[in-house]
């Protein structure tokens, strides 16, 4: 029991969503609830061409390419925050993580997830289109699906107030169920 946390609520976005999904599968008794944002069930859910394009696009971020990650409703401040965040990435480490992820994260048995789950997607997500979130939510027993309009890959950055309300509402309902 690391950090004294016996059971916990787990939230993950994109690659973090895939990590959270794997934790929920590996240690279901520890996960009270799961929130998966802008992620997918494994790279087998994408065509080989889509996976190849996914990797290529991540090897060279340009300001224009980063802008396309965000949806039409994103503010200039959200875009600037994304630029600042990407500028802090150690590119060589990121590329190694990306290559390992694509080669090893193939098809997770998400049907075995037992934690109450909320799947969140942006309707304009060009990284993981909302169809992948719909498939993920369909395959996870009793999962809820929430799709944000005019939102791309980063709902928490693009629509922080709405995102936080949705997250806290979901977590509050899980807390009520535990009583």
pLDDT in tens, 109-164: 999 999 999 999 999 999 899 999 999 999 999 999 999 999 999 999 999 999 99
The SS3 call for residue 9 is strand
The SS3 call for residue 167 is helix
pLDDT at residue 3 in the model:
60
Cα angle at 170 between 164 and 105, to 5 degrees? 85
The whole-angstrom separation of Cα 66 and Cα 142 is 34
Percent of the chain with pLDDT over 70: 97
Q: Pick the catalytic residue from 2, 40, 90, 153.
A: 153
Helix 91-104, helix 15-26: angle, nearest 10: 50
Q: What is the pTM of this model?
A: 0.90
The whole-angstrom separation of Cα 140 and Cα 112 is 7
Active site residue 153: yes
2 or 65: which leads in pLDDT: 65
The whole-angstrom separation of Cα 40 and Cα 45 is 7
Least confident of 1-10, 16-25, 91-100, 153-162: 1-10
């Amino acid at each position: 029991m690391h950090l004294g946390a016996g059971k916990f609520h787990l939230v993950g976005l994109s690659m973090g969503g895939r990590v959270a999904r794997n934790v929920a599968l590996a240690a279901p008794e520890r996960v009270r609830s799961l929130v998966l944002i802008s992620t997918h069930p494994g790279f087998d859910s994408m065509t080989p061409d889509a996976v190849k394009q996914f990797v290529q696009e991540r090897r060279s971020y340009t300001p224009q390419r980063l802008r396309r990650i965000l949806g039409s409703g994103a503010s200039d401040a959200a875009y600037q925050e994304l630029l600042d965040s990407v500028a802090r990435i150690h590119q060589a480490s990121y590329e190694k993580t990306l290559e390992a992820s694509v080669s090893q994260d193939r098809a997770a048995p998400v049907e075995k997830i037992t934690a109450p789950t909320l799947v969140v997607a942006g309707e304009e997500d060009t990284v993981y289109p909302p169809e992948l979130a719909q498939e993920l939510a369909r395959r996870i027993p009793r999962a809820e699906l929430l799709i944000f309009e005019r939102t791309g890959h980063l709902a928490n950055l693009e629509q922080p107030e709405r995102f936080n309300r949705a997250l806290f509402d979901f977590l509050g309902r899980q807390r009520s169920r535990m009583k």
